[in-house]
Structure 1
């Protein structure tokens, strides 16, 4: 903001200097060439005043627009971060739900419980996740949700060690996302 004020002040001083120089030259030519008609001189003065007024008005409008656009862009960034923060909170809830399902039903013979696993939030954010989370976390999430889709479809046989591995992956991801959310809260 201080740089904008410096530009406005320096521009105003330049305009004032130019206007005073022009008025001096006009007065000089008036005396030198004997222009006695005051209406000609007032016409010049009003024309130059209108021109400089338009220039100053245009520059002020430019800076006002620049400030407004900067504020709008900043607000959009804040809103985008808030939105993504809320989506990540939903992802944490989804992962915790999936973790509780897998913990309760670690027996691979109970395949009916795999249908309770969810992936809606992940399907919503998966294409934009790399913009907000570390790529390692996104990679692990992608692998985890592929496995969850396979578990739900019952196309593959899963042993209790496979389910335990998925639980460990969920815990690691939850820890990473919670660290990210803590950092987000600290940077507000």
Structure 2
């Protein structure tokens, strides 16, 4: 059975997007080689990427561009090559290479993908998708990058969680730029 990883960045005060929905505070650090190596190594993994509409539109507006291919060739190449599935009620089509559109019951679709897929899957960002799949017990691992920034207000990824989900710490890693990666799995 394929595993599902949810990867997202949060501010120190727990927001995954600022009050305007922006993510500029979570930009890469050009002066931290260890962090950049970590990001590049993560990008070379396989499997399928899952997105909600907002994250898909953000990613599709950057990774296929000539600028991304020039400035981040390893990550851009992998982002463009990997199979991608976008969950949306409003999109009618998707144009980014290797991308399919999914409409329907999100937990049922992901449950079926996990049962049939050979490779693992990852959700990058996509707060509403992560929330729904966490509540359905379908996320096998949460990887949070805690950024050393206080936003004061914004969007909390689990603000609408219906019931607590107990987790156990599986990994930690701190970087010179102040980012800390925390890995958690469901405690059950």
Smaller-chain TM-score bracket: under 0.3
TM-score of the superposed pair, with normalisation by structure 2? 0.23
TM-score normalised by L of structure 1: 0.23
Larger RCO: Structure 1 or Structure 2 (Cα < 8 Å, ≥ 6 residues apart)? Answer: 2
More helix, by proportion? 1
